[in-house]
Amino acid sequence: MAGRKVRLRGLEFETGGSVNATVCLVLVIITFVLAGCGRSGGKDAYPDLLYLGWDANNENQIFRLNADDEVVQLTQLANGVYDFAVSPSGTRIGFTTADDNSSSAIWQLEINDAQPTKILDCPKQACTQPVWAPDGKRLIYERREIISDGISGSPYLWWLNTATGDTYPVLEDSEARGTAVRFSPDGSWLSYVSPEDEGVYVYHLEDGRSHFFPNEVGMPTVWSPNSDQIIVPNLDLVIVHGDEGDDHLEHTHDYQTATHLFIADTETGELKAISGGQNVEDSVAAWSPDGTWIAFGRRPPRTSAGRQLWLMRPDGSDARPLTEDPDVNYGPPFWSPDGRYLLFQRIMLADPQSGPGIWMLDLQTGEQTELIDSGMQPQWLD
């Protein structure tokens, strides 16, 4: 489908920016029991991490696992936390809350301050999925009207000035829907998913260049470390060969829809499939820090088998599984800054009472280590 032309608003900020490698969090330390923590083995030269865990009232809160194997609770809000994002400088956390079934809010927490500040009220709206702009002064969030009983409508993208609380639409056409915003690592590009056009728009923030890539599944794009390529998940038609021998002309054929990964070049607009034409559902990709590998999730389509972690080169070669347990569903992988570890959420499908836990995979040894026995949405603090 051809993409409808849309324009962005409010792009006046300096591109680029770096993440402060030293993040100091001096807040209230809680016990492992309160956080639902279950460490397995000692910590060995991997970064601190943030995650959502549950407090004593069973509300989601933001926690940190620090260098001393201590769990620190960063938020203590009565209605809990929905999701969060760390600023480019590593000094602030933007997060969202659902105050009740008909309103929400966006908060900001300075790393060295135990008290968060509410920066936006969203009455009768669900404001979620904050993503920091490269300058660290603003963020983009998704706004949905709450129709009734917590049911929300279509997503729209809005800017939020975290200092003043001023908010306005990202897209020039304020009626255009959008979701899953991502900035390129160098801060020069912005991408978002358009549910209306079933695709991804990519914009260069300085010169206005743009591309449109099909994306019927609505999953977020993933930027390469050098910001010249993105991974775009999309539906793809595959041929399923029959079992009546190896002769292509003799055996039967069927056609099924798979979910594959594609790499798009942001300079040329060229799109290339990298999933190898297999009948699989590929998703949740993550580029290694040096750009030489892609970690991703793969599962057989139309089955109850859990998603496994895989590894392949950016051109689709050398694809191989990292995990092989269909009774376990592995969440999105996150590379450590040195490229040695993968952080991920893990759920035991065979145990209906089992909640998500946070695990780490050592790519040098293949060893999996449980870091938190009850937690979700992990992020490295690099």
Residue 67's pLDDT is: 79
DSSP state letter for 156:
E
155-174 pLDDT, tens digit each: 999 999 999 999 999 999 97
List of the chain residues with pLDDT < 50: 1-7, 10-42, 251
Q: What is the pLDDT of residue 6?
A: 44
Give residue 19's pLDDT.
36
Q: Please spell the DSSP secondary structure of 66-135, one letter per residue.
A: -TTS-EEE----TT---EEEE-TTSSEEEEEEEEETTEEEEEEEETT-SS-EEEEEEETEEEEEEEE-TT
Q: How high is the pLDDT of residue 249? A: 54
Give residue 256's pLDDT.
81
Choose among 298, 300, 303, 271: nearest CA to 284. 298
pLDDT, residue 121, reads 96
pTM over 0.75: yes
How high is the pLDDT of residue 41? 41
What pLDDT, on the 0 to 100 scale, is given for residue 252?
Answer: 55
Give the per-residue pLDDT at 116: 94
Q: Output the CA–CA distances (angstroms, integers) from residue 209 to 5, 52, 68, 266, 342, in the order listed.
A: 12, 37, 46, 9, 34
> Over the stretch 6-39, which tens digit does the pLDDT of each residue have?
445 544 434 344 433 333 333 333 333 334 444 4
| Cα 19 from chain centre | 17
Report the alpha-carbon distance of residue 206 to residue 7 in Å, rounded: 13
